[in-house]
């Protein structure tokens, strides 16, 4: 058996030459398209690297700012709870439930001024709180009037105020 001598015929020679030239042209087109796509990808990657670096810098700035704000927040604690204690209610023979009602009344008066405020704000307005307590007059059913004197003022996240009752009439 022998290979047919098609390579000698001009039509087959043109066909094979066309295949070879087509393969070379298609390979050139493929390399051009692949190169442009790779160039686009490399520019996209470079842009993304720049964006990532910028975002990392912004993240560091925000983390520093966040830690700074946390430190400031620790410095500026707020009052979360208010406690009022009357120390000498038994001296004037005032019943325990009446003492509790007076304490609650004083708490209600101070709640708007004190709760959820900065400790610095409370410290600056200590005299206002003291005057509010000392200017308050409680009238009993039997006609007796009582005022108050602030004896202790303890301030942290809980504000503790100790008050003494003073007889007026």
What pLDDT digit, counting tens, does each position of 62-94 carry?
999 998 888 877 766 888 899 999 998 888 888
Stronger pLDDT, 156 or 61, i.e. the higher one: 61
Cβ-based neighbour number of residue 52 at 10 Å: 10
Q: What's the pLDDT at 7?
A: 65
Nearest C-alpha neighbor of 122 from the set 159, 148, 150, 86: 159
- Quote the longest CA-to-CA distance of the chain: 140
Residue reference for tokens 């007796």: 144
Q: Which two tokens stand for residue 63?
A: 């983390």
Q: What's the pLDDT at 156?
A: 84
Residue 9: pLDDT band by 50, 70, 90 thresholds?
A: confident
Mean pLDDT check: name the lowest of 30-39, 74-83, 100-109, 124-133.
74-83
Backbone angles phi, psi at 88, to 5 degrees: -120, 40
Tens digits of per-residue pLDDT, 96-113? 888 898 899 999 989 888
> What are the structural domain ranges in the chain?
6-75, 81-167
């Amino acid at each position: 058996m022998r290979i047919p001598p098609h390579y000698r015929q001009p039509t087959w020679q043109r066909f094979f030459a066309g295949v070879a030239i087509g393969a070379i042209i298609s390979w050139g087109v493929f390399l051009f398209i692949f190169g442009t796509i790779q160039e686009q990808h490399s520019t996209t990657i470079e842009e993304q690297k720049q964006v990532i670096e910028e975002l990392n810098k912004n993240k560091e700035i925000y983390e520093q700012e966040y830690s700074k704000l946390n430190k400031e927040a620790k410095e500026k604690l707020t009052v979360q709870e208010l406690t009022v204690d009357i120390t000498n209610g038994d001296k004037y023979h005032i019943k325990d439930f009446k003492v509790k009602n007076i304490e609650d009344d004083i708490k209600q008066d101070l709640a708007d001024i004190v709760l959820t405020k900065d400790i610095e704000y409370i410290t600056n307005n200590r005299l206002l709180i003291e005057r509010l307590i000392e200017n308050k007059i409680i009238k009993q059913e039997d006609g007796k009037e009582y005022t108050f004197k602030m004896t202790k003022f303890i301030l942290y996240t809980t504000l503790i105020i100790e008050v003494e009752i003073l007889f007026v009439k």
